[in-house]
Structure 1
Amino acid sequence: MQQITFLLALNPSDVEAFRVALDHAAEGDTKVVADIGSVASLDADIERFHPDVVVYDPSLDGGRTLVRWPTDVGKYPLLICATCDATFAIEAFDAGAVHFLQPPFTARGLQRTLQRIGRVLPYVSSTGKPRHLRESSFGTIGVVALPVNNGMTLRRVDDIVYVRGEGSYSRVEFTHDPAIILSRTVGDCEASLHGDAFLRVHRSSLVNLQHIVSIQRGKQHRLKMINGHFVDVSDTYRDALFERLQVIGRKRECES
């Protein structure tokens, strides 16, 4: 893997924690070329250090850099928004951020960040000029906005265990938080939660593959999820599920 270079535009109190977490997550495949406690000279710093990724805390300037990023900077270097304030998620989406990080920084969290970066960087030329980047979505920055009665609630995509359709509504189940009922179909949810982690396993069910504990074989296969719930797998979607899970010994993929 080619080394990924980072420019950190973070509060000084967060820099060391980010460096430590990155060292544990990357095992030598990354390098912090500079850390700055202000964005006053950010454009000049980008020109000077040529980073692949800028990790930016919008609290440094009230999010003004997010507003100007698409026109003044563009799609390269890649942008990661890192803040405890989830209200910046919408602006990060509009700016084209590839990920939305919420401190405290951990090695596990940064491993997911590096995976996202790794999927995007191959579309950037060796000269540093962007070729084609997939349009950003809430799924790619790690946060999804769910419409509720009084507006929207922001949740981490990784915290979604599964979505079950109930007519013209959908029930979203989480690892820890109470379920939320959306006035959206499961198909609508599938379109928003596209990516490596989610897969349709039934006409009424969409699951996060990361949260499958086991597969039970029977007249109809069932998935046991991390929250203890069971989700049926229809014959239509079964082969696609096994392919995504890379089951070893296909004919013996499950225990009865």
Structure 2
Amino acid sequence: MIRAVVLDDETKGSSLLAHKINALNESIEIVRIFNQPELALHEIKVIELDVLFLDVEMPKINGFEFLERLGSFDFEVIFVTAYNEYVLEALRANALDYLLKPVNPNELQIAIDKLKRRINQKNLIRKSNLLRENNNSSSKLALPTAEGIYFVRKTDIIKVVAMSNYSIFHLDENSSKIIVSKTLKEFESCLEDGNFLRVNRGSIVNLDFIVRYKKGDGGTLELVDGSEIEVSPSKKKLLLDKLYTQ
């Protein structure tokens, strides 16, 4: 059973959405409906849920501010709003879907189907202990994507670049790229045992693929794929120390 929570400051709107969800799918249980975002902030952390149906425009705290104040969470988010200008913000917030009010049953069903696929993927990872591949002793990383789970050798990773809440893995093999819906910070500890270094806020580089270091305030790295990565001045000494001890 998929456990869902609805947060919408309008009582009528939240009740109507819950009714539509229940009418469409018996595999989803609405465990709680909140009409006050402040109350939800205090109570949602102790609720075991898989998905939050979240309104955007709410008094005092909007949906994006709610997620920001909530901090870390492992459930999926589906925004439900009467306004269509927040799609980009929803993408940046790594939302699973974005539904416009009044919610169309067909679009709601598509979002639920997408939710089921995402949850099945998570369960597969947990049951198979695939994420253990991401510990420091492993030579591979398990990268869960919308298409499935990719296993890559750490030695094949040229660099990892941040893009909002996503991380783009650039691989040596066939110059391929893999986009993962996790932040760069979540991979930093997984790569610390290898020859990797976070050289700036948005880039982790495999030092084995450096072709040249160009001097500068922080300097610039030229990599085998032809790309250039700026080095943060605060990382310059650590980088040079690592390069000279190789």
TM-score band by shorter chain is 0.3 to 0.5
Query: Rg bigger for which structure?
Result: 2
Q: TM-score, normalised by structure 1?
A: 0.44
Q: TM-score, normalised by structure 2?
A: 0.46
